[in-house]
């Protein structure tokens, strides 16, 4: 069973409603998406950004992280749909 990360201190720089403009201007960090808890985009360089999804699973403080896809090959909407499938 999965639980939200609302009360878990996750090393994400901020929580925002991600837009294409926001992502294209990203210079570092891994902002979390406010619309889908656990979804974030991780910046590795100007040409490499990955969509990631993190969830807390039942058990002793265990998180599961999945690399969903890369940006811009997958849009924000596509990443949100994929992440919702793991929620």
Question: For residue 62, which phi and psi values (nearest 5 degrees)?
Answer: -110, 130
1-39: per-residue pLDDT in tens?
334 443 333 334 568 889 999 898 888 889 999 999 999
pLDDT tens digits for range 44-72: 988 889 999 998 888 777 888 999 999 99
The superfamily (CATH) of domain 2-86 is Integrase, DNA-binding domain (3.30.160.390)
Query: pTM, whole model, 2 decimals?
Result: 0.76
Residue 82 has what pLDDT? 94
Predicted local confidence at residue 17, as pLDDT = 87
Contact 21, 79 (CB under 8 A): no
Domain boundaries, the chain: 2-86
């Amino acid at each position: 069973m999965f639980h939200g990360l609302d009360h878990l201190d996750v090393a994400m720089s901020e929580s925002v409603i991600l837009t294409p403009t926001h992502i294209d201007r990203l210079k570092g960090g891994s902002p979390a998406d406010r619309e889908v808890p656990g979804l974030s985009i991780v910046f590795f360089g100007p040409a490499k950004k990955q969509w990631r999804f993190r969830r807390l699973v039942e058990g002793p403080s265990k998180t599961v992280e999945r690399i969903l896809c890369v940006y811009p090959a997958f849009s924000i909407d596509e990443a949100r749909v994929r992440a919702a499938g793991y929620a």
